[in-house]
Chains A and B, each alone.
Chain A
């Protein structure tokens, strides 16, 4: 059974650019959540999608957006990148909504120069 797949694993962008990260959940999982981790910070919740609908959103500016497709794959987009957006972005999937266990991907490490 394939795990949660995130692409790309590493990327470097410059300020002002935009980036799109992809997450393919475990087959059959319908919920996908996104988290940001920066040095010294815990996992900061970005958003959660279930059956193509955003269920919850964290306290991030509108430059951060996401979507989920009918096959449960999800993308998140960050526009007008800032230096502070440099972080590890993790996605996690679960079969249903909470309290299902989350299975995390390996993450996408974004560096903004």
Chain B
């Protein structure tokens, strides 16, 4: 069973702040890493799928990096807006098995 850790568990920032959070996962037999964004009362939506060590992906103000050798990924949000408030989930895929972390709950105050 994959041991996926996300930190911090929750985060409160002011509008305009930049923020980042971490996803840690086993580096052995790594295949892919997914990031999802889950807003309250909605379904999780895919942000990124990353497969290569050193990969960096960007979508608007949100970007992510991947280190498969040490088993971590960072998600960055630049200039947070209230609409960024959501839970951000990572899910590594190892050994034909994909499991979600508990998520980082981000609240952006206007």
Contact = CB atoms under 8 A, between A and B. Distances in A.
B62 interface: no
A102 B34 contact: yes
Contacts of A56: 96-97
Nearest to B103: A42
Interface residues of A, number: 23
Contacts of A70: none
Given A99-B32, A101-B34, A59 B43 contact: no
Does more than half of chain A's interface fall in helix, strand or loop, or is it mixed?
Answer: loop
Chain B interface residue bracket vs A: 20 to 34
Nearest to A101: B46
A18 to B, nearest CB: 25
B98 to A, nearest CB: 6
Nearest to B87: A42
20 contacts: A42-B100, A42-B101, A43-B44, A43-B89, A43-B100, A45-B99, A56-B97, A90-B43, A97-B96, A98-B32, A98-B96, A99-B34, A99-B49, A99-B93, A101-B49, A102-B34, A104-B43, A104-B44, A106-B43, A107-B43
